[in-house]
Structure 1
Amino acid sequence: MPSTGTREAPLAIGESRRLSDESAWTVQLNASNPDGAAVVAAENEYLPGPVPGEAFLIGNFSVTVDADALAGQGIDLANEGAAAWAHVWFEYVAADGTSFDVTSGTMCFTNGALYNAGTLYADGTSTGDVCIAVPVDKLPGGLWRVANIQNDNVWISPE
């Protein structure tokens, strides 16, 4: 069991960890903006802002893939490719245990969204933003949670 990156001992901004020993994915939170409405508005004038009582939380993540680990799972990265956004999911878990993801609340995204980072066909890293609408009263004390389909996960402090 890892000693860091758990809910009890989350990673700090700038720290990275593989989701699990068996996982091909390593994640790192580069920056976290709990009030990203101005960023979203500046990049896309057609998106509505957050509703009253809601904030746009933006996390900039780097997600690195290990081709050898994927090969062990039967995936040929060189020929099949892998997109971070299709293999790794992001949510924000409030201190009271409620969670929010990209399908929660008002839709938000930036021009540098992680899902625009493309597919990797060799060992490499995708970097981009994840935007989640979160009730303002749920922001204090919450954590980012990043997981794969096997539910291996890493917890990261947004501060």
Structure 2
Amino acid sequence: MKRALLALIIAGGVFAMSGCGSGDIADASQGDGTSKNHDGNGGDQEGSRDKPYAPSDVVHLENWDVSLAKTDTDATKDLESDGFNEIKAGSVAIQVRVSVTYTGKKSDDPGMDVVLEFVSSKGNTFDDSSGDGCLPEKSLQDIGNMYPKAKGEGDECVQMPKDAVKGGVWKISSLLGDKTAFVAMA
């Protein structure tokens, strides 16, 4: 009986967390401030996996404005040269500069709330929580707590099989938010 109850509690927690960050497509704006607003999560909408935003577009999450630079699709040598990163044989490390602005009312830490995952063209996801991460010189986790209108930058990187890079996109979400957006590498 206790095992059945424990299994039910665990399954309920997994079910509840499975919806986090997988709701509506987040709005975005171009560098000139032109808005790109969306309602829903349709595959043909800009910001979806099939039609990702451009790296320079600013994605508007619940408490964050986030933009990505062009992705370095082979940052392996740079990352291994620091002595902290060991990229697996047959894998490559990719890295992207992430710019964040806190738009909330209190304070928050982008390293704890902004979630960045790489989704390959085959649909496989790679991120630092799945053991595929690497340690950039300055990451979002190094920024610390931010207050309204504060800005920061950090690099995020992930390693994956070499054949997983082509055609992939970045998925940006907030840990406790309902909005997601997909952003192209270049």
How far the C-alpha of 1:147 sits from its partner, in A, is 0.8
The CA distance in 2 between the partners of 1:155 and 1:125, in whole Å, is 21
Contact 2:60 2:66 survives alignment (8 Å): yes
Q: Which residue of the partner structure matches residue 6 of structure 2?
A: none
The separation in 2 between residues aligned to 1:58 and 1:103, in whole angstroms, is: 16
1:76-95 matches, within 5 Å, as 77=106, 81-95=107-121
Q: CA deviation at 1:14?
A: 1.3
| Contiguous gaps of at least 5 residues in structure 2 | 1-24, 26-37, 39-44
| 1:11-22 equivalence runs, <5 A | 11-19=53-61
Contact 2:126/2:132, CA 8 A, preserved across alignment? no
1:29 pairs with 2:65? no
Q: Superposed, which structure 2 residues align to 1:77-116 within 5 Å?
A: 77=106, 81-116=107-142
AA partner of residue 115 (structure 1): Q
TM-score (norm 2): 0.70
C-alpha spacing 1:56/1:123, structure 2 compared with 1 (3 Å): same
2: CA distance, partners of 1:82 / 1:56: 28
What is the letter of the counterpart of residue 181 of structure 2?
V
**Which of 56, 77, 88 is the equivalent residue of 2:93?**
56
Q: Secondary structure in 2 aligned to 1:127?
A: strand
Superposed CA deviations along residues 26-56 of structure 1, whole A, max 9, x for unmatched, are 21111311111122123x22x2431121111
Structure 1 portions without partners, runs of 5+: 72-76
The count of corresponding residues between Structure 1 and Structure 2 is 143
1:102-123: CA deviation from partner (whole Å, max 9, x where unpaired): 1334541111212111211231
| Distance in structure 2 (CA, Å) of the matches to 1:96 and 1:63 | 28
Aligned residue for 1:157? Answer: 184
Higher relative CO (CA 8 A, sep ≥ 6), structure 1 or 2? Answer: 1
Aligned residue runs from structure 1 range 66-85, under 5 A: 66=103, 70-71=104-105, 77=106, 81-85=107-111
Aligned to 2:148: 122
How far, CA to CA, are the matches of 1:158 and 1:88 in structure 2? 18
- Percent identity of equivalent pairs: 23
CA distance in 2, matches of 1:60, 1:127: 7
Cα separation, 2, equivalents of 1:9 and 1:63: 22
1:146 is matched with which residue?
A: 172
1:74 aligns with: none
1:4 has 2:30 as partner: no
**What is the alpha-carbon root mean square deviation over aligned residues?**
1.7
Alpha-carbon separation, structure 2, partners of 1:48 and 1:40: 6
The 2-side partners of 1:156 and 1:31 are apart by 10
